[in-house]
Copies of this chain bind each other. A is one copy, B any other.
Amino acid sequence: MARTTSLSGFTEWLPDERLVELHVLDTLREVFERHGFVSIESRAVETVDTLLQKGEIDKEIYGVSRLQADEDAEARLALHFDLTVPFARYVVENAGHLSFPFRRYQIQKVWRGERPQEGRSREFTQADIDIVGDGSLPFRCDVELAVVMARALESLPIGDFRMRINNRKLSEGFYLAIGLEDTAAVLRAIDKLEKIGPEKVAAELAETAGATEEQAQKALALAQIRTEDLSFVDQVRALGGEHELLEAGLTELAEVMGELQRRVPGRAVADLSIARGLDYYTGTVYETVLVGHESLGSVCSGGRYESLASKGKRTFPGVGLSIGVTRLLSRLLAQGHLTASRSVPSVVYIALRTDEDWGSAQDVADTLRGRGINVEVALRAEKFGKQIRHADRRGIPFVWFTDEDGRHEVKDIRSGDQVSADPQTWTPPQEDLSPRVVPAG
């Protein structure tokens, strides 16, 4: 669908594309609710102070201000750039009204003023799930969250994917074990592995983390471990090094991987190169690539954070994962991998014999609607051929005719079959009731 939009970076779907998006969002919602997650929405704006607390991302932010601001000294506002920071603020603000552990999903638009490119919009939809505790949160939430999200992605018509999982404790513990104390600097360098390659990472490790050649090679060796089973544990041990944090990370990652292997086999990889840029993660970190679309980058990312949200001495640790819905759909729609079976919700289009029949046609429509069937009535008594073409252009499968004696017939315009029908009893095939989303090849 090679359309240009009038504002670069702001995607708007045509009706049939929007039906695909709605199908995706409905499916995510159903899976999230099936696992006990409740919906919330946060306001689109945050104070600039709230947004800046969580990282150096000011240049990506869209500021918001009234065109005719009055004298009030109002807080500086900006559009949120993700759903994690607003959620943390929401939890702190409403802590007295929430029951912990609190599991919520949140599906909303977010905005970033980045230069638009494929997979990177200025306005896009994210679908997040998080579990947040009051003071503490059992580790098994990291396991549960990965399972729920893998199931959510499995239920979408998006083809195969791989959830790549690591644990910061594992990486940081290993770095400490081999004598690299500035673990943040090491993580920042390792995070660039895919982009700049091992040699440049080694140079950066020497420069910013003071790594010897041997330390750099060990850190790189760790980052190259990828297994679909639990064998990563032995591979890490073979590199040597002992540290309490390393042990904790190995145990946690093994638990996540074991449960994923059991409940959603074939979807997860322990990938020790995953670091995630944002520094608030403290344990499990997740990324997800679509198989065959790796160049798109991660379509579902997140991790464990111990102290993103806090209120005085009270902390709210959590674990979260976020799907980049717009990124995912932009690629799959643009390449024709997903289409909707029609561009409107209607199953039946009621044709008019004369303009005066509109009222009785609405009666027929109401009888069908009362039985859960989506119906549109023609607005004018044009030639039947023209009315049929009107339905056909939208992909509406059935056209309904009523003759002057009030006898009804319904035509399946795909097959051309036309049969007698009674609005009290006629029912379209189940698979035609709603527009279907068709994965192409």
Contact = CB atoms under 8 A, between A and B. Distances in A.
Contact of A140 (B64, B358, B375): B358
A63 to B, nearest CB: 5
Given A45-B123, A67-B58, A109-B44, A36 B99 contact: no
A258 to B, nearest CB: 10
A73 interface: no
A394 interface: yes
A43 B10 contact: yes
A387 interface: no
Which of the listed residues A62, A67, A111 has the most CB atoms from chain B within 10 Å of its own CB? A67
A285 interface: no
27 contacts: A6-B93, A7-B77, A11-B43, A12-B41, A14-B97, A33-B345, A34-B373, A34-B374, A35-B375, A35-B376, A36-B375, A38-B343, A38-B345, A43-B123, A44-B111, A44-B123, A58-B67, A59-B68, A60-B66, A67-B78, A101-B379, A103-B344, A103-B376, A140-B358, A140-B379, A144-B362, A259-B359
Given A6-B93, A37-B345, 16 more contacts: A6-B89, A12-B94, A13-B40, A14-B97, A18-B38, A22-B39, A34-B345, A36-B376, A38-B343, A44-B109, A45-B123, A62-B65, A63-B66, A99-B393, A144-B362, A263-B366
Give this chain's copy count. Answer: 2
A-B pairs, top 3 by smallest CB distance, nearest first, are A36-B376, A66-B113, A33-B345
B7 A43 contact: yes
Contacts of A58: 67-68
Given A62-B64, A66-B62, A36 B374 contact: yes
Contacts of A35: 369, 374-376
A79 B40 CA distance: 22
Nearest to A68: B59
Given A61-B66, A64-B62, A75 B15 contact: no
Interface string A1-33: 001011100111111001100100000000001
Interface of A: 3, 5-7, 10-15, 18-19, 22, 33-45, 47-48, 58-68, 75, 77-79, 89-90, 93-94, 97-99, 101, 103-104, 109, 111, 113, 123, 137-138, 140-141, 144, 147, 259, 263, 343-346, 358-359, 362, 366, 369, 372-377, 379-380, 390, 393-394
Nearest to A133: B379
B379 A141 contact: yes
A267 to B, nearest CB: 16
A3 B99 contact: no
Contact of A48 (B63, B67, B138): B67
A7 B47 contact: yes
A32 B360 CA distance: 20
A210 to B, nearest CB: 32
B38 A64 contact: no
Contact of A379 (B43, B63, B138): B138
